[in-house]
Amino acid sequence: MYQAFLVKYGEIGVKGKNRHLFEDALIHQIKYTLKQAEGEFLVTKEQGRIYVEAQGEFDYEETVASLKTVFGIVAFCPVVICPEEGFEQLSRDMLQYVGHAYGNRELTFKVHTRRGKKDYPMESMEISAELGGRILDAFPAMKVDVHHPQVMFEVEIRSRIFLYSEVIAGPGGMPMGTNGKAMLLLSGGIDSPVAGYMVAKRGVKIDATYFHAPPYTSERAKQKVVDLAKIVARYTGPIYLKVVNFTDIQLYIYEQCRHEELTIIMRRYMMRIAEHFAQETGSLGLVTGESIGQVASQTMQSLAATNAVCTMPVYRPLIGFDKQEIVDLSEKIGTYETSIQPFEDCCTIFVAKHPVTKPNLNIIQNSEKKLAEKIEELVKEAIDSAETIIVEP
Residues that bind Mg ion (CB under 5 A): 187, 189
* SS3 call for 265: helix
Taking CA atoms, 115 is separated from 109, 119, 344, 345, in Å, by 20, 9, 61, 60
Q: Which is nearer to ligand ATP, 170 or 193 (CB)?
A: 193
Which segments within the chain are labelled E, that is strand? 4-9, 39-46, 49-58, 73-83, 108-115, 143-144, 151-157, 160-164, 168-169, 181-185, 205-212, 239-245, 286-287, 314-315, 387-391
Q: Which is nearer to ligand ATP, 104 or 341 (CB)?
A: 341
Q: For 228, what's the count of Cα atoms within 13 Å in the CB-facing half-sphere?
A: 35
Residue with the shortest CB distance to Mg ion: 189
Smallest distance from ligand ATP to CB 345, Å: 5
Rounded CA-CA distance 312/316 in Å is 13
Smallest distance from ligand ATP to CB 73, Å: 27
Q: Which is nearer to Mg ion, 122 or 351 (CB)?
A: 351
Q: Specify whether the CB–CB gap between 365 and 309 falls below 8 A.
A: no
Smallest distance from ligand ATP to CB 377, Å: 21
Q: One-letter amino acid identity for 103?
A: G
Q: Which is nearer to ligand ATP, 257 or 346 (CB)?
A: 346
CB crowding 183-208: b at 16 or more within 10 Å, else e: bbbbbbbbbbbbbbbbbbbbbbbbbb
Q: Which is nearer to Mg ion, 43 or 292 (CB)?
A: 292
211 binds, among ligand ATP, Mg ion, none (CB under 5 to 8 A by kind): ligand ATP
Smallest distance from ligand ATP to CB 7, Å: 32
Q: Where on the chain is the footprint of ligand ATP (CB under 6 A)? A: 185-187, 189-192, 209-211, 270, 288-290, 294-295, 297-298, 345-347
Residue with the shortest CB distance to ligand ATP: 189
What value does the CA radius of gyration of the chain take, rounded to a whole number of Å?
27
Smallest distance from ligand ATP to CB 44, Å: 39
Rounded CA-CA distance 28/47 in Å is 18
Q: Which is nearer to Mg ion, 170 or 189 (CB)?
A: 189
Contacts of 248 (CB under 8 A, 6+ apart): 378, 381, 382
Question: Can you say how many angstroms the Cα of residue 7 is from the centroid of all Cα atoms in its chain?
Answer: 17
Smallest distance from ligand ATP to CB 198, Å: 12
Smallest distance from Mg ion to CB 12, Å: 37
Question: Can you say how many angstroms the Cα of residue 190 is from the centroid of all Cα atoms in its chain?
Answer: 15
Smallest distance from ligand ATP to CB 290, Å: 5
Q: Which is nearer to ligand ATP, 190 or 239 (CB)?
A: 190
Q: Which is nearer to ligand ATP, 173 or 188 (CB)?
A: 188
Smallest distance from ligand ATP to CB 287, Å: 7
Rounded CA-CA distance 152/142 in Å is 12
Rounded CA-CA distance 110/135 in Å is 10
Q: Which is nearer to ligand ATP, 162 or 277 (CB)?
A: 277
330 binds, among Mg ion, ligand ATP, none (CB under 5 to 8 A by kind): none
Q: What is the DSSP letter of 72?
A: T
33 binds, among ligand ATP, Mg ion, none (CB under 5 to 8 A by kind): none
